Amino acid sequence: MVPLIALSAVLILAMCALAYMLATYALPFLFAITVTRFAFATGAGYVGAGIVGIVAGAAAYGVLAYLYATLRSPILRLFISVIFAVPAAIAGYALVHGITGEAVPSEVWQQIFCIAGGAFVGLSAMARLADPSMFDAR
């Protein structure tokens, strides 16, 4: 019984880490999904749409990371980090809302937890973008 409880705790932590990474990189991911859907709707097929989506997501992340690394104006850097962090905050809010929907009966506390979770994920996305080691090509 104890190993099963330990395994479930490890799997829950792994899922939280995966959801956190997805929420942190929400902008390139959502851009890739949008481009994939558009490519599929215009007749690219499954494989073609998948390739186009992967390239579009990588390009969106690369362009934002390059702009953030090369621009020296603090206002422009802040603007880019906000563009990167707003979808992450929305994804964090939705993630916490999905979790607290069944666990927290009070609507007020559910919203408090959701706003706190969205703020945490949005601020952590901004902090990850501000980390200079993120742009090292090693």
51 pLDDT band, cuts 50/70/90, is: very high
- Whether the CB-CB separation of 121 and 95 falls below 8 Å is answered with yes
CA distances 33 to 1, 28, 51, Å, are 41, 9, 11
DSSP secondary structure letter of residue 42: T
Q: Of 49, 52, 60, give the one whose Cα is nearest residue 26.
A: 60
State percent of the chain over pLDDT 70. Answer: 91
pLDDT tens digits for range 57-116: 999 888 887 887 888 888 888 888 888 888 888 888 888 888 888 777 888 988 998 898
Q: What number of CA atoms fall less than 13 Å from residue 80's CA on the CB side?
A: 21
Q: Looking at the predicted structure, is the pLDDT value of residue 55 above 80?
A: yes
Q: What is the mean pLDDT of the chain?
A: 82
36 pLDDT band, cuts 50/70/90, is: very high
- Domain residue ranges of the chain, discontinuous segments joined by +: 24-135
Quote the tokens at residue 64.
């934002």
- State the pLDDT at residue 10: 81
Q: What number of CA atoms fall less than 13 Å from residue 79's CA on the CB side?
A: 7
- State the pLDDT at residue 138: 44
